[in-house]
Structure 1
Amino acid sequence: MPVASARPIALTVAERHLLKKAAWGRKTENRARLRARIVILAARGRSHASIAVETGVHVDTVRTWRGRFAEGGLPALADRKRSGRPACFTPVQVAEAKALACQLPAETGVPLARWSCPEPAAELTARGVTDSISASTVRRWLRQDAIRPWQYRSWIFIRDPDFRAKAQRVLDLYACTYEGEPLGADEYVISSDEKTSIQARCRCHPSLAPGQARAMRVNHEYGRGGALAYLADDDVHQAKVFGRCEATTGIVPFMALVEQVMAQEPYAGAKRVFWIVDNGSSHRGKTSIDRLAARFPNALLVHTPVHASWLNQVEIFFSVVPRKVVTPNDFTDLDQVRDRLRRFEDRYNATAQPFQWKFTTSDLDDLLARLDGHTLTDRHQ
């Protein structure tokens, strides 16, 4: 019986490029890489036998993929649709599994804080929904609707009755406006806050600098050298930071920071200096407003809404400090911490630019509308 000759393969430039990318791509599936190599070798005029030896597969496999490409081109190298084995579970069972995953375990009487895939599988079996089911099957079902009951996020409802008014006042100041009037050239906006408990941890062995294919190494054991509070102000529009280190936070340290800023120009002679602060105990309530106004008549204290310190721009600077300055923490004493923070301020101020604040009053209205929608949904449930 005559043997069928090998199908000739001629590749276009585009086909050759895609096949090479598949054959030697780092993220290509093994089966796709194998098929691409077979076609590339066939295009070079190689026989079925030699291709089979080089790729480590049977001659029939080479003949199959060479023939498919000759008939259908690149699309023919993909797997054909198959009916697969009959479904073992009904759509109702799948729906019950997803419904269970969307319930808190406590609501079902299970003593767990959250589900992972083995627990819903065991619960479905215990309830008689299925005779048996694997955790991987449950995981595959949940993946279809992006249900991840093992993950969680924290959130908090707005409880400040004047949230919008307070938030808008802060956002207007960032936009150089106050009570509908533009700020003058002699009016300034200061964002202020405190960062507590910056520790001095003296490592038991010196930290090792990074090297080729080696990250910086920091010894796990350390001795405690105390902790301090770092208070900082950020001139929102001038991009200048003023900071000081104190043993703790409180009214006296905060007023010392205000004194440090207001005693120098241009703030001492300014028409108005707006101080944006959160509702921490160092500057909470009307008492703090009166205290600041009595000491500095041109200073106005502006509070962010309760639980909305994210509206305070100095928090962005405080997110930089741990990443750039004190982590990993390896200081012999608190004096070394103070010195590094002071020198970092100088370095930061030398090149700082105002933060590109993009959250506007329109974004605020959208946020409040979404939160109202969630609140109404929760009430109806």
Structure 2
Amino acid sequence: MLAMRSKIVLACADGMDNIEIAAALRIHRDTVSKWRTRFVKLRLDGRMDEQRPGRPPSITLDQVEQVVVATLENTPKGATHWSRASMAERSGLSRSTIGRIWRDFGLRPHQAGTFKLSTDPLFVEKVVDVVGLYCNPPERAVVLCVDEKSQIQALDRSQPVLPMMPGMPERRTHDYVRNGITSLFAAFNVADGTVIGELHRQHRAAEFKKFLITIDKTVPAELDIHLICDNYGTHKTPAVKAWLSRHPRFHMHFTPTGSSWINQVERWFGFLTDQLIRRGVHKSVRALEKDIRDWIDQWNANPRPFVWKKTAEEILESLARYCRRISGAGH
């Protein structure tokens, strides 16, 4: 708007009349007349908007600050967190006003997240190793993120599920019948997103060794295999170590303790859970296993690799900043 007003003033200085200026700038001639008159009277200050009358704000900045500080630094008596009602009672403001202040400052007292910092003494080395495989994978090799989703339950509802209808979501009984469990061993290829999957009724080192054999048969013989695993005991038994020693193209890389977020197969497990397992209804383990195999086949028909964006240095610096933030949490 200020640029348009300046153009009007400059056109007036060139000797153009209001009709000519309005036509050239494609605006109404009353607009030209208004800002010509304002400039003649106030010179350059005339280009600025006048102060407009209005109702003064109903709350002061001090009141807003008090609500924000109290939300961040205090808790109400007899409760673990503030509600709009309790903060309104404390501050003397309305509930809707408290809600607006919280929205403006991104405060959500009713929500709480979780976190866990790894205590692995080799945390830095393992992060650098794993992220290095993501960002700079070795040549003539495949990088696989491996883990087990254990004890997947075949659940059947006690009564038939009522399908979704217009204006009404799908409904199911809160209780269910357990029909057995299975475990999925999966290897996620970080390069192309394909998955090698295998189901077993038990979750032991013997089953993990069988899965390693499956991987060995599936991956072309001319490629090295780099496996990213967690520190679960079945991955490090003498039998597994002996098998690996006889297959030198396998290279094991372990994630830091308590850091499953760095293993990409965990994200893939999340897709499987959301799209199949959480709301699935299965009358037998065999039916559950069939659905899992079908879902994996559909995924592999259109695989989607994940894009890893953060370097190891960025991850470590982010964690360092977080540690500095919480280091004084108890004071």
State the match for 1:279 in structure 2.
231
Q: 1:348 to 1:138 in 2, by over 3 A?
A: closer
Cα deviation, 1:183-223, whole Å, max 9, x if unaligned, reads 22xx3222111112322122344446667x47774532532
Percent identity at matched positions?
23
Name the amino acid aligned to 1:342: R
State the match for 1:101 in structure 2.
71
Q: Distance in 1 between matches of 2:71 and 2:227?
A: 47
State the match for 1:368 in structure 2.
316
How much does 1:86 deviate? 7.3
State the match for 1:228 in structure 2.
182
Q: 1:331 to 1:112 in 2, by over 3 A?
A: same
State the match for 1:114 in structure 2.
81
How much does 1:134 deviate? 3.2
How much does 1:277 deviate? 0.7
Name the amino acid aligned to 2:314: D
**Quick one: which of 194, 198, 203 aligns to 1:249?**
203
Q: Distance in 1 between matches of 2:160 and 2:103?
A: 46
Q: 1:372 to 1:174 in 2, by over 3 A?
A: closer
Q: Distance in 2 between matches of 1:188 and 1:376?
A: 37
State the match for 2:156 in structure 1.
202
Q: Distance in 2 between matches of 1:90 and 1:103?
A: 20
Name the amino acid aligned to 2:295: F
After TM superposition, list the pairs within 5 Å mapping 1:44-123 onto structure 2: 82-84=53-55, 87=58, 91-105=61-75, 110-123=77-90
Are the equivalent residues in 2 in contact too, given 1:277–1:304 (CA < 8 A)? Answer: yes
Q: Distance in 2 between matches of 1:170 and 1:360?
A: 12
Moved over 6 A (4+): 286-289
Q: 1:90 to 1:379 in 2, by over 3 A?
A: same
Q: TM-score, normalised by structure 2?
A: 0.71
Q: Distance in 2 between matches of 1:236 and 1:170?
A: 12
Q: Distance in 2 between matches of 1:162 and 1:288?
A: 25
SS, match of residue 317 in structure 1: helix
Q: Distance in 2 between matches of 1:218 and 1:94?
A: 43
Q: Distance in 2 between matches of 1:279 and 1:217?
A: 40
**Quick one: which of 333, 339, 353 aligns to 2:290?**
339
After TM superposition, list the pairs within 5 Å mapping 1:282-297 onto structure 2: 282-283=234-235, 290-297=241-248
Cα deviation, 1:308-351, whole Å, max 9, x if unaligned, reads 22222222321221233334221111110111222223333233
Between 1 and 2, higher relative CO (CA 8 Å, sep ≥ 6) is seen in 2
Q: 1:242 to 1:311 in 2, by over 3 A?
A: same
Are the equivalent residues in 1 in contact too, given 2:145–2:228 (CA < 8 A)? Answer: yes
Are the equivalent residues in 2 in contact too, given 1:207–1:216 (CA < 8 A)? Answer: no
State the match for 1:17 in structure 2.
none
Q: 1:101 to 1:195 in 2, by over 3 A?
A: same
State the match for 2:42 in structure 1.
none
Residues 1:305 and 2:305 aligned together: no
Q: Distance in 1 between matches of 2:280 and 2:203?
A: 21
State the match for 1:137 in structure 2.
97
Cα deviation, 1:133-191, whole Å, max 9, x if unaligned, reads 433333334344333322222223343343332122222223453xxxx422xx32221
State the match for 1:183 in structure 2.
139
Name the amino acid aligned to 1:245: L
Q: Distance in 2 between matches of 1:216 and 1:115?
A: 31
Q: Distance in 1 between matches of 2:70 and 2:169?
A: 46
Residues 1:328 and 2:328 aligned together: no
**Quick one: which of 96, 117, 120 aligns to 1:160?**
120
How much does 1:360 deviate? 4.1
Name the amino acid aligned to 1:200: A
How much does 1:101 deviate? 0.8
Q: Distance in 2 between matches of 1:215 and 1:259?
A: 48
SS, match of residue 102 in structure 1: helix
SS, match of residue 73 in structure 2: coil
Q: Distance in 1 between matches of 2:57 and 2:227?
A: 69
Q: Distance in 1 between matches of 2:223 and 2:105?
A: 58
Q: CA RMSD in A?
A: 3.4
SS, match of residue 82 in structure 2: coil
State the match for 2:26 in structure 1.
none
Q: Distance in 1 between matches of 2:167 and 2:246?
A: 54
Name the amino acid aligned to 1:149: P
SS, match of residue 83 in structure 2: coil
What is the number of residues matched between the two proteins? 281
After TM superposition, list the pairs within 5 Å mapping 1:260-271 onto structure 2: 260-262=214-216, 264-267=217-220, 269-270=221-222
Name the amino acid aligned to 1:343: D
Q: TM-score, normalised by structure 1?
A: 0.63
Are the equivalent residues in 2 in contact too, given 1:292–1:300 (CA < 8 A)? Answer: no
Are the equivalent residues in 2 in contact too, given 1:163–1:305 (CA < 8 A)? Answer: yes
Q: Distance in 2 between matches of 1:307 and 1:81?
A: 59
